[in-house]
Structure 1
Amino acid sequence: MSRDGFEYPDAAGYPDGMGFLDEGTAEELAEGAGSAEYVTPSADAADDLRIVDDAAVGRYRALIGDREVGVIRYSQSGTHTVLHSTYVDPELRGFGIATAFIVHVLDERRDRGEALVVECPVIRRFLTSHSDYADIVVR
């Protein structure tokens, strides 16, 4: 929150503390930071990041130990998987967790032979600098 009491939205359009990326992480993605091969968080991140597909509720959950630190919501629509939103705990942003999380989900869906509809602005932004996923994204 700024000193005038107004909470400015981050690059994804969400206010800090409620959004999906802080401005610094969004800028790194826009500049092409990271790569499709990057499937583990940076050395600064916790080394026990686990990603679990909770298909019953349409959520991928990112866990460090027993703590949920991120969520990617999705649903099935005919033959497509729709990626709705991404969230990473604001305290843990900037450590590569969101990048590792997104790459894991995209790779897993590709391995299943699924086509994706991406509604999530964070994942869309990631895809602008990772064209190697263009083959699985239908819109």
Structure 2
Amino acid sequence: MTNTVTHHVEKQRYEIHVDGVFAGLTQALEDGEVVTMPHTKIFDEFEGQGLASQLVTGALDDIRSRGKKIVAECPYVAQFVVKHPEYADLLA
């Protein structure tokens, strides 16, 4: 099984694909140097596989590489940052 996380700037979101099948997304609304993350969704048929964690990790790593900060409005993203303090420096 191959999972890939991609940033779709025009759709203002990151997507995760499992073997090429769209499995979920996290919204990423950019405003200057801040990315607001209001919602994350893994589709029902893909739940329970750890995809949300992979998706958010990929998104946060990309956001960090671009020198931006986040506003974690999504409860999942907010809790992820609490559980993974190595991402706390990204909070705006």
* TM-score scaled by length of structure 2: 0.91
**Residue matched to 2:43:** 89
Q: Aligned to 1:116, which of 70, 73, 87? A: 70
Deviation of 1:117 (Å): 0.9
Q: Identity over the aligned pairs, expressed in percent?
A: 25
Kindly indicate whether the alpha-carbon contact (under 8 Å) linking 2:69 and 2:91 is maintained by their aligned counterparts in 1: yes
Would you tell me which structure has more strand in proportion to its own residues?
A: 2
Bigger radius of gyration: 1
Residue correspondence of structure 1 range 1-139 to structure 2 within 5 A? 47-138=1-92
RMSD: 1.2
**Which structure 2 residue ranges, 5 or more long, are not aligned?**
none
Q: What is the aligned length?
A: 92
For residues 11-44 of structure 1, the C-alpha deviation after alignment (integer angstroms, 9 at most, x for no partner) is xxxxxxxxxxxxxxxxxxxxxxxxxxxxxxxxxx
Mapped to 2, the partners of 1:113 and 1:64 lie a distance apart of 28
Give the match's secondary structure for 2:48.
coil
Deviation of 1:88 (Å): 0.5
Deviation of 1:124 (Å): 0.7
Task: Write out the 4+ residue segments of structure 1 that deviate beyond 2 Å after TM superposition.
Answer: none
